[in-house]
Structure 1
Amino acid sequence: MSTAEGPPDQMSEDEFDQVVTEALDRIPPELADRLSNVAVFVEEEYEPEPWEDPDTELFGLYDGIPLTERAGMPWQMPDRIIIYRGPLLRAFQDRDELIEEITVTVIHEVAHFFGIDDERLHELGWD
């Protein structure tokens, strides 16, 4: 787990990226090997779509076509997993809680790539 110190709102971009990398490293190898054509990004803020509540804050977003829906699709643009730094930093005052939530968010978005929906993730305790 990350050794970054100090208040969460002072976590540098490099430290935040390291925590995301560590979360990705926790994915079991048999699943990580199937994470092909997926790019993981850290962005500062989520920009809501025009039809969304302008106060919408997301911790993460999966943008792509889940593996469970790809039958007969020979070529695809890369899927994207985006982790939003700003909302996470604002939501957690405790560094350990922040690191845990970054991990939960990464796992949550990776699960969407594998076709696991929010309801099932909650059943599995990833909420």
Structure 2
Amino acid sequence: MPVEMSRERFEELVGEALDEVPPELLKVMNNVVILVEDLPRDGGMGLLGLYEGTALTDRGWDYAGVLPDRITIYRLPTLQVCDTETDVIDEVAITVVHEIAHHFGIDDQRLHELGWG
């Protein structure tokens, strides 16, 4: 059964997950915003997070004047796959790390190899 949780509490958990990211990594994140949405644009429940933008490793000398990259954490799909609030805390932390890794140019295959699938 899905966990019920307010958007405010879920946003707190995303903030707490961000607080756990090493400061050295946060310092080098560039031109990226982290958002919480209830659902992906397509309304599907299969996506917990999404990185949209140009990874740091793909930015060249001509990278300028662009809107910030977006990391979106989806509340309802995350709650759907969790049974307890502790599960939500763990899943949010994994999803935040996973999407930040994409910002640094780490692909899904490498994340799975590292245990962050």
TM-score scaled by structure 1? 0.84
**Secondary structure of 1:72's aligned partner:** coil
Counterpart check, 1:19 vs 2:7: no
CA deviations on 1:51-97 (whole Å, 9 max, x unpaired) are: xxx75620000000000000112412100000000101111112111
Counterpart check, 1:10 vs 2:20: no
Percent identity of paired positions between Structure 1 and Structure 2: 47
- Structure-1 separation of matches of 2:91 and 2:106: 18
In structure 2, stretches of 5+ residues that fail to align are none
1:121 to 96, 107, 111: 111
Aligned to 1:51: none
**Secondary structure of 2:33's aligned partner:** strand
2:59 to 52, 60, 70: 70
**Secondary structure of 1:61's aligned partner:** strand
Aligned to 1:3: none
Bigger Rg over Cα: 1
- Structure-2 separation of matches of 1:23 and 1:91: 18
2:70 to 65, 68, 80: 80
In structure 1, stretches of 5+ residues that fail to align are 1-6, 49-53
Q: How many residues align?
A: 116
Q: Tell me how far 1:9 sits from its aligned partner.
A: 2.9
Q: Which runs of 4+ in 1 moved over 6 A?
A: none
Q: Tell me how far 1:35 sits from its aligned partner.
A: 1.5
Q: Tell me how far 1:25 sits from its aligned partner.
A: 1.1
The answer as to whether partners of 1:19 and 1:102 remain within 8 angstroms in 2 is: yes
Instruction: Give me the CA root mean square deviation.
Output: 1.7
